[in-house]
Structure 1
Amino acid sequence: MVTWRGAPHLVACLDALAAQDRPHRTLVVDNASDDGTAGLLAAHPSKPEVLRLPRNTGYAGGIEAALPQVSTPFVAWLNDDAAPSPGWLAALEDALDEAPDAAAVSSTLTLPDGTTQSTGVRLTADGHGADHTEPAAEVFGFCGGAVLLRTAALRASGGVPSSFFCYYEDTDTAWRLRLAGWRVLGSAATVRHLHGASTRPGSARFHRWNERNRLLTLLRCAPAAVALRELARFTAITALLPVKRDVPDAANFRMGLRLRVLGEVVLRLPGTIGARRRIGTRATIGRGAVWRRWAAG
């Protein structure tokens, strides 16, 4: 579990983990919280192990920092504002035990009002990773807020893209697992999720990370034609904003934010191209085959 200034909701998450009916080890990555989180962790009866980082590395950085500490066959990712049902972990473990060709099993995340937030991640025709909200035995990818993965498969596929900070680290990881020949399962194991307790969906920071990391994921994992098409589309929309009428009043249509996204993508291109090559050498299924199977037409 990764936390940053999670004091308002952290205890509920720890309580839910302590109530799991399957043995497990709890490791909390504290991203340099300064809101009393350290004291709450130390005082909790479940006595979770804590890896405190010197700075906030985001969700992706926190998960990547935790991986060297993991020695179990399975590793679960869990948001600090999520509270899994008591049988959650057992259901996910059983699902992977019964499907040796699956590397991950997603959860059913529900919002406080009972509506379904996510049963996994679907891939849209323009390369967005979007929440799947219907029950499904198999999904393109998992929602990183509550998922169980095979540790060896995660490591072999390249781990977690820690430089993403947050958002799309789950889609990118699932995509690489797909390219390596693994399946991703859905499940009915439920997790109550506050959603956006640490980061505000719709904020400028949210859109910056979301737009940048989507483009980076495509450049790393998608067929080259798709990745270049979507990068060109993003650039063209940005260039036309000054003369376009009826521009949506949303942060991701602000010129400054979009230019920053493009600048960050360009600066990361050499490393991203290198990552794309490494992903390709580990792949057992072609990028085009994965795209055709999962991208919505």
Structure 2
Amino acid sequence: MRPSHPPRVRVVVLNWNSAWFTRRCLVALVATQYPADCFEIVLVDNASIDGSLEQLRFAFPNIRVIANEANLGFAEGCNRGMRDLSQVDAVALVNNDAVPEPGWLWPLVMGLESDPTVGAVAAGLVLEPAFTRVGLSVDGGQAQIDSLSIGPINVLDRAQSEGIRSVGHPDWPMDLDYFVDGTASLLVPTGEGRREIALRVSGSGRLTATTGLDQAQVELGSEPTEFKLRAGDDRTELLNGLGTHLMENSEGYDRCFGQPAQLLSGASPETVQGFCGGGVLLRTKMLQQVGLFDPRFFAYYEDTDLAWRARRAGWHTVTAPESVIRHSFGASAASASPGFFVHVYRNWMLSVLRNAQPAERRLALRSLWDRTKWAVRANVFSRLKHGHLPRTKLVLAWKQVVWAVLLELPYLRKTRHQKIGAERTSKIRSPLRPSSGARAPSSRPGGPLIVYLDIDQNRSAAAVLLAQLPLIEQRIDLVGVLQDAGSPVGYRRASAVDMQQILGLPDRAVSADTEMLSLREFAIGSAFLNCEQARITARAATRSEFLIPQNPEPQHGLSSEDLSLEDLGPENLQRARLEDFAQGLINRFGLP
């Protein structure tokens, strides 16, 4: 039974140079089914330079914004939205690249209300886009999967598998080779609609690959062979996680990762060791006792550390399977990069050394020692023994981890029994902080369609399009650009100052070196809008290779040769016309 006086809940969303994802998240949060007088949204921005904060402020004028002076990471960035909790009973964290269902909050609240010792309630996170199953069978040999693509986008690192053997490279175990012996399945993130799946394989024997719509057979050899399969409309949703647990060596992992999302419908709430900071409700009293995220973690394991501190203080974490939040898989970080590797393993050890019992610490330290020793043996001694030069990438990464942990030992001893994160700070100690530059928009399976708009050609029309088109059609990411002679494609992305001027916002924006916004290339399958005089025309920025045409002729009377809008006075850019134009863009260029 729902409480007669619902708890007051604040939702904190963190943005960093990501207008499309954050806008989509905020649209979903605004539609949350919860009493409006007990619910508030706080948008925290980590000093975005690409104009995303300006666009979000314009689109959501009633949402409170906290604009940070620098990129403070996920930990301190979220902390800025969680320190002033005197007026709320609980605070929810939702990743900006996630989309909650309308009823997501009540199950979390009911989990918190079920027991006064519950300090956190973890939502059910579902991966998006949905997956297409590709059945694989090898007769008389073994297949190696060299690449897996949707159109020109390689998605092998985002695919899930059943019965496929993955082997890490000795010099960098996060680079994997994939092998099929007998029968197996690939679950490929494809997005909506019919797609072509391209596989590049080598090996021995004969490989048969099937989807719900297609089948192919290839003879395998030492030279890679590429073939394509049509994916039908069947899709499988998979879980990103339902709470977290710790392995024997205290490494954290997402419970139920990769399992069918249908599991949520029959699951009951459970007590778990931790939560993912991308979808959780935290009790204010718990945070007031144990503190917030540790700002020194910057990103990764800050949620594991907080959950562990809460457990030590007698609080519990439970799951709420009925709270469903869809999370864009791989949208937030480059998980195979050395920076990710060092940051994750550094923070793993920091959380262990602060929170674990002596026996647990010994197991974790032994695991760290064994991995470092293996890296040296495999990449230095073994290669020298066989007359090869050493490979140092992995060895140097583990060296960075060890040194970073040693540097933090005095701090860990000092703070083991202290309240963490209570004081506001801008001094984020981490040699691994990313540069202030913003990643260029890139196409990903499931969308959005990236559409570039030259905002200098017709500023009044550009302002209307930037303000309205992304909200009218959420499958379009409208990226403002300006001409730039130093760019390989002749354009750079609009800066925060540019967006402030176009949208007529009074607040001072973060200034940045525009070289950091220069475009090296246009996103695959993207479109470009020219906004000259009183007419907008759309053209392909790059070749579109994604969609198998089902409706080859665009609807709404828009010509495939001349997709355009006439009479561009702001008073003429009405919603109905923009809806037709947006649908024409989707029909003409397709979704990734």
Give the TM-score of the pair, scaled to structure 1. 0.87
Tell me, yes or no, if structure 1 residue 38 matches structure 2 residue 53.
Answer: yes
1:253 Cα offset (Å): 7.4
1:69 Cα offset (Å): 2.9
Alignment match of 1:254 (pick from 388, 394, 401): 394
User: For residues 417 and 376 of structure 2, what CA distance do their matches in structure 1 show?
Assistant: 37
RMSD: 2.0
Larger Rg: 2
The answer on whether the counterparts of 1:41 and 1:47 sit within 8 Å (CA) in structure 2 is no
User: For residues 26 and 69 of structure 1, what CA distance do their matches in structure 2 show?
Assistant: 13
Q: 1:190 to 1:129 in 2, by over 3 A?
A: same
Aligned length: 275
* Cα distance per residue 1:108-154 (max 9 Å; x no partner): 00011121010010111111110001645221111110100101211
Tell me, yes or no, if structure 1 residue 69 matches structure 2 residue 209.
Answer: no
User: For residues 100 and 277 of structure 1, what CA distance do their matches in structure 2 show?
Assistant: 22
- Aligned with 1:184: secondary structure? strand
Alignment match of 2:300 (pick from 167, 175, 178): 167
What does residue 231 of structure 1 align with? 365
User: For residues 8 and 203 of structure 1, what CA distance do their matches in structure 2 show?
Assistant: 24
The answer on whether the counterparts of 1:5 and 1:198 sit within 8 Å (CA) in structure 2 is no
Alignment match of 2:309 (pick from 176, 179, 194): 176
Tell me, yes or no, if structure 1 residue 265 matches structure 2 residue 405.
Answer: yes
AA in 2 matched with 1:53: N
Q: 1:211 to 1:255 in 2, by over 3 A?
A: same
The answer on whether the counterparts of 2:111 and 2:319 sit within 8 Å (CA) in structure 1 is no
AA in 2 matched with 1:28: L
Q: Which has the higher helix share?
A: 1
The answer on whether the counterparts of 1:61 and 1:165 sit within 8 Å (CA) in structure 2 is yes
Gaps of 5+ in 1: 280-297
Q: 1:1-297 counterparts in 2 under 5 A?
A: 1-22=13-34, 23=36, 24-45=39-60, 47-71=62-86, 72-112=88-128, 113=130, 114-133=237-256, 135=267, 136-188=269-321, 189-244=323-378, 254-278=394-418
AA in 2 matched with 1:212: R
- Aligned with 1:107: secondary structure? strand
* Cα distance per residue 1:241-272 (max 9 Å; x no partner): 2322799xxxx971111111111111110001
User: For residues 46 and 52 of structure 1, what CA distance do their matches in structure 2 show?
Assistant: 14
Return 37-46 or 186-195, whichever deviates more. Answer: 37-46
What does residue 282 of structure 1 align with? none
1:59 Cα offset (Å): 0.7
1:228 Cα offset (Å): 3.5
AA in 2 matched with 1:270: P
User: For residues 393 and 283 of structure 2, what CA distance do their matches in structure 1 show?
Assistant: 38
1:98 Cα offset (Å): 2.2
Q: 1:125 to 1:253 in 2, by over 3 A?
A: farther
User: For residues 332 and 43 of structure 2, what CA distance do their matches in structure 1 show?
Assistant: 15
1:41 Cα offset (Å): 1.8
1:159 Cα offset (Å): 1.7
1:43 Cα offset (Å): 1.7
- Aligned with 1:111: secondary structure? strand
- Aligned with 2:71: secondary structure? coil
Q: 1:137 to 1:55 in 2, by over 3 A?
A: same
Q: 1:45 to 1:67 in 2, by over 3 A?
A: closer
Gaps of 5+ in 2: 1-12, 131-236, 257-262, 384-391, 420-592
- Aligned with 1:109: secondary structure? strand
Q: 1:243 to 1:98 in 2, by over 3 A?
A: closer
The answer on whether the counterparts of 1:10 and 1:81 sit within 8 Å (CA) in structure 2 is yes
- Aligned with 1:69: secondary structure? coil
User: For residues 159 and 255 of structure 1, what CA distance do their matches in structure 2 show?
Assistant: 33
* Cα distance per residue 1:197-246 (max 9 Å; x no partner): 22122222221111010000000111123224422431343144232279
1:55 Cα offset (Å): 0.9
Percent of aligned pairs sharing the same letter: 33
Q: 1:49 to 1:254 in 2, by over 3 A?
A: same
User: For residues 26 and 131 of structure 1, what CA distance do their matches in structure 2 show?
Assistant: 26
